Amino acid sequence: MISPLRVLCTALTATLAAGCTLAPNYERPALPVPSAWGTPSSEETTGAVATELPWRDYFTDTRLRTIIELAITNNRDLRIAALNIDRARAMYRIQRADLLPSVDLVGGQNVQRVPESVSMTGYEYISRQNTASAIIGWELDFFGRIRSLNSQAVETYLATEEARRSAQISLVAEIANAWLALAADSELLDLARRTFDTQQKSVELIRKSFTAGAASALDLAQARTAMERARADTAQYTAQVARDRNALALLVGAPVPGSLQAGTLAGALSTVADLPPGVPSEVLVKRPDVLQAEHMLRAANANIGAARAAFFPSITLTAGAGTASSTLDGMFDTGTRAWSFMPQITLPIFHAGALRANLDRAEIERNIQVAQYEKTIQSAFREVADALADRATLAEQLDARRALVNAANESYRLSEARYRGGLDSHLVLLDAQRSQYAAEQELIATRLAEAINRVMLYKVLGGGWK
């Protein structure tokens, strides 16, 4: 007689040799975006690729790198993303275990009272049976249902890994932007304080002139107006700097030492490297969020195979080998060995359309994932195109702002000289001061926008997770 172990080994060999599923062949959807960015550049096909450039090489300032390292260690959102990976890995291990036989050791006792009315001997008696056996159970995956579910679990696991990379990219970019914003607001605060000090001295001089009859009450009121505006800006930027520090600490997940904060925005600009964008087909498919969407599409594609396999018979083998005895002390005596072999085949006949509906659902989910993948590609393309559009004019804006500051400084110098020479009124000098103050504020804002644009370009090109 053929032993159950040999039957199981034969079935295992046949199943592994089959190795096929009913899932449709996967084909990556075509990119639903143009083949070139809307703002071409001569640098598009040269230079480093963002996905291959670690953030430690892109952000060269040691203070910023230290802050990013702290955030990667302490940030709660990133920690949740890492735990999601562990959960998906565990689910994959559970699903993969279904491919192999399960072995359980079962022991039990059955005690039964047999009454006289049904007893073969005409007397009542108590029947006792003690068993101990190893049970082997296995579903033969001839039609790939389990392998399809296993593939789905693998793709889901890989998708969570890409989700964590996307989370890290966003975190790195947010920290860099928060660090740069803190530097810019600190510089604006310093500018407001210096302006307030200058205006305060101007008010004191005009007050003395007004007391001596050399200045009018209007001159004094105008000077005080400019001073109070600078004082209000000082209070506003003081609060904004405090909010920036709180935002940075929240992103990092721990207090940020003052020694790690940027002193000035001008010094922080050199810490953010420049990066050529590359071409869409090479850039977009390497972004972690795009890879995540593609893994989810692959998972949905594999789920169709499991839904199709449900239409076909399922074969389950269950075998057991052990001992059986009426007494515990005789369970392992000679002649107590027992075994069982119970193959079972289940052929679906009528399920009121549930199997067809389940397959339709799987195909619809695959179509949804196709649309989601295409939407992710389109969103990624727009993000890069927008960053390149801003980049194309920011250099010119920055040059114009610098020239504007130089012109405002010269205008203020000439106005002050003419005012002291009695050629212009204090109103002309005050207007030159306001223009100078506004030009310096706009230059700081443009510097921040240019630095943030470089960070954004690095992010949308898929860099920052290594």
CB-based contact 98:149 (threshold 8 Å) = yes
Q: Angle 103-109-113 (CA atoms, 0-180°, nearest 5)?
A: 145
| pLDDT given at position 243 | 95
| pLDDT given at position 375 | 94
Cα(25)–Cα(145) distance, rounded to whole angstroms? Answer: 15
| pLDDT given at position 449 | 94
3-state secondary structure of 255: coil
- The neighbouring-strand residues paired with 324 are 131
Retrieve residue 333's tokens: 């005596």
Compute CA distances 79 → 76, 106, 165, whole Å.
5, 41, 12
3-state secondary structure of 462: coil
Task: Give, to the nearest 10 degrees, the angle between helix 354-420 and helix 426-460.
Answer: 150
| pLDDT given at position 44 | 45
Burial class (CB in 10 A: 0-12, 13-18, 19+), 227: buried
**Nearest Cα residue to 387 out of 241, 274, 304, 244:** 274
Residue 318 dihedral angles phi and psi, to the nearest 5°: -130, 125
Alpha-carbon Rg for the chain in angstroms: 38
Long-range contacts of 368-371 (CB under 8 A, 24+ apart): 368/300, 369/293, 369/296, 369/297, 369/299, 369/300, 369/301, 370/29, 370/297
Retrieve residue 115's tokens: 């009454």
Long-range contacts of 322-325 (CB under 8 A, 24+ apart): 322/106, 322/131, 322/132, 322/133, 322/134, 323/131, 323/132, 323/133, 324/129, 324/130, 324/131, 325/129, 325/130
How many C-alpha atoms does 346 have within 13 Å on its Cβ side? 12
CB atoms < 10 A from the CB of 225, how many?
Answer: 14
Instruction: Give the tens place of pLDDT for each residue, 107-145.
Output: 888 888 888 877 777 788 788 888 888 888 888 888 888
Cα diameter, the chain: 137
**In order along the chain (466 residues), what is the average pLDDT of each group of 10 residues?**
47 50 88 74 53 84 90 88 88 83 85 80 80 84 87 92 92 93 94 92 84 81 89 96 93 88 72 69 83 94 92 86 74 76 86 92 95 93 89 91 95 88 82 92 94 90 81
Cα(464)–Cα(466) distance, rounded to whole angstroms? Answer: 6
Q: At a CB cut-off of 8 Å and minimum separation 6, what does 418 contact?
A: 424, 428, 429
Burial class (CB in 10 A: 0-12, 13-18, 19+), 429: buried
| pLDDT given at position 270 | 63
| Alpha-helical regions (H) of 320-425 | 354-420
Cα(150)–Cα(155) distance, rounded to whole angstroms? Answer: 9
Cα(243)–Cα(402) distance, rounded to whole angstroms? Answer: 28
| pLDDT given at position 401 | 95
The single residue listed with the structure tokens 């890989």 is 158
- DSSP states of 259-291 as a string? GGS-S-HHHHHTTB-------HHHHHTTSHHHH
Residue 53 dihedral angles phi and psi, to the nearest 5°: -105, 110
